[in-house]
Amino acid sequence: MVETLLTNREILFTDNGLAMVHEALDDLHNAASEGEIELVTTLDNRELVNWLRELVFTAQETIVEIEKRSAYRQEPYLRLVK
């Protein structure tokens, strides 16, 4: 039997892979909304929030880089900063 190893890029950066990431974050959101966050993570709230902020920052920067380097342009949007 031949075992095929997939890299993270082969797994995550497809429609299915990104859908899995979205589903995981949606499950996390549902748990937080229901006050049951401790059922889905062992991280304390501070660690979890820091990870989520890092993920959001990285996603936003990725969008900026993609839009800078491609013909794809989205309408400008309002970014609220607190």
Q: Using 50, 70 and 90 to split pLDDT, how confident is the model at 72?
A: low
Mean pLDDT value across residues 41-46: 96
Mean pLDDT value across residues 63-76: 78
State the DSSP H helix or E strand holding residue 61, giving kind and residue range, or none if neither.
Answer: helix 45-68
Mean pLDDT value across residues 31-50: 97
User: Which range is most confident: 11-15, 19-23, 55-59, 62-66?
Assistant: 55-59
The full length of the chain comes to: 82
pTM for the model stands at 0.72
Mean pLDDT value across residues 51-75: 87
State the Cα–Cα distance between residues 28 and 26, nearest whole angstrom: 5
Structure tokens at 63: 């969008």
Please report where in the chains the tokens 């969008």 appear, as a residue: 63
**Selection from 33, 38, 9 nearest residue 21 by Cα:** 9
